[in-house]
Structure formats: C-alpha cells, structure tokens
Amino acid sequence: MADGIFITFEGGEGSGKSTQIKRLKDKLESAGRDVVLTREPGGSPGAEEIRQLLVTGAPNRWEPVTEAMLLAAARHDHVVRTIRPALMRGAIVLCDRFYDSSIAYQGYAHGLGPQVIETLTDIAVGDTRPDLTFIFDMDVETGLARARGRGDGEDRYEQMDLAFHQALRQAYRDIAANHPERCVMVAADQSMDAVEAEIRQALKDRLSL
C-alpha cells in the first residue's frame, strides 16, 4: 500500500462502535484528512447485496461454512473495489468490522475454528491488513438491549441466543490478547465522550495521528 492507514472497529452487537467510527471520521476530516468510511458485510455494491443475505432472516438461515464463504466473497469484493484503491491514494480507511468479525462470529461462536477463517481470509484479503483495530468490549445483555432498539430489520445476529453472544465476547477478548501489537481493547460501557477520548489517545500513541 502507499501512505494510507487502515483502521478497523470491532465488537459485539450494540457496543457503540458505529457511533464512534462516525465521530472519528468527522474529527479526521475536520483536520483535513482524506477519510473513507466503510463497513462489513458491505462496502461495495456487490458486497452490499451479499449483506442483505447475511443480516436478515432467521438465525439458522445459513450453515456456518456457507455463511463464512459468503462473508469471504463480500470481503474480497470490498477490498478490491473500495479499500485498496483508497489506501493506494493515501486515504485513511475506517471500516466498521473486518476479518476479526469472521474469526469471532463464525470461527469461535459458530464453532468453525479460527484456522478455517484464516484460510478464507488469506484468499479474500491477501496482504490488505489493518494497521490498528479497536475492539469494543461490553456486557452482552446491555449490548443486545441497545441493538434490539435500532429497529432497522438487520437483526439476524441479534436473534441468536445468549450463549452465542457470550462466546462472541470471549472470542474478541482472545483476539485482542493474541494480537496486542494491532488491537486496542475499549471499555464500551463508558460515556460516548470517554470512549472517544480513549480512541483519540490510542491513535496518538499507536499511529501518531
């Protein structure tokens, strides 16, 4: 990649990452930076079509392997059409979820194992990897209550049982522990301003941004 910076935001349902990623975009743009805000599943026209297959419908709509392959297909299109071009021109790419979500959701919570996801990830993204990842950690019940209040119809994962979401939280903690050079854990149960301050400090410390 050229001079671009790739930052991802991860966490369970209702953890507040989408609010914070928008705040960061506004801050960086006000400082004159070229910022691309994107998301997964989605982020390119083809990937957005796949998104609707994944985030709507019954919880058991897909077998875990099928789901993981759909996500990998969407991710490849997203990387090729949106993320890499932005990084090549030197932009800061802020992505709401990336491959850590697949490791947590399909690899751990759905039981496929991380190696399956890592293999699919290698195919889907190649060497396009985040420079920094924020992982938002929050009590599962609180996060689900927040998420279920959105009413946007994209509630397939929110319908999954409590054990799934508890496994998801632990998976993210494991990812953060295994990749301390890239991942920053954020206590998402703080006020929005406190969370934002924590993110800004980490950006300064890790990326001089």
Which tens digit of pLDDT belongs to each residue from 22-56? Answer: 999 999 999 999 999 999 999 999 999 999 999 99
All domains in the chain, ordered by first residue? 5-207 (3.40.50.300)
| Ramachandran category for residue 32: left, alpha or beta (phi over 0 → left; psi -120 to 50 → alpha) | left
For residues 2 and 196, the model is more confident at 196
Do residues 171 and 11 lie in contact, with contact meaning Cβ atoms separated by under 8 Å?
no
In this structure, which amino acid lies at residue 4?
G
Length of the chain counted residue by residue: 209
Task: Look at residue 172 and tell me whether its pLDDT is greater than 90.
Answer: yes
Task: Look at residue 2 and tell me whether its pLDDT is greater than 80.
Answer: no
Provide mean pLDDT across the span 167-194. 96
Find all residues with CB under 8 Å of 123, minimum gap 6, and list them.
72, 76
Alpha-carbon distance values, 40 to 3, 192, 195 (Å): 23, 22, 22
The pLDDT of residue 152: 75
The two tokens of residue 101 are: 């979500």
The pLDDT of residue 147: 81
First to last CA, the chain: 18
The pLDDT of residue 148: 79
- Of the candidates 29, 132, 42, 120, the one whose C-alpha atom is nearest the C-alpha of residue 81 is 42
Specify the range with the lowest mean pLDDT, choosing from 82-91, 96-105, 146-155: 146-155
Average pLDDT, the chain: 95
The two tokens of residue 7 are: 């930052």
Task: Look at residue 10 and tell me whether its pLDDT is greater than 60.
Answer: yes
The pLDDT of residue 184: 98
pTM of the predicted model as reported, rounded to 2 decimal places: 0.95
Task: Look at residue 1 and tell me whether its pLDDT is greater than 80.
Answer: no
Find all residues with CB under 8 Å of 98, minimum gap 6, and list them.
8, 10, 40, 75, 130, 133
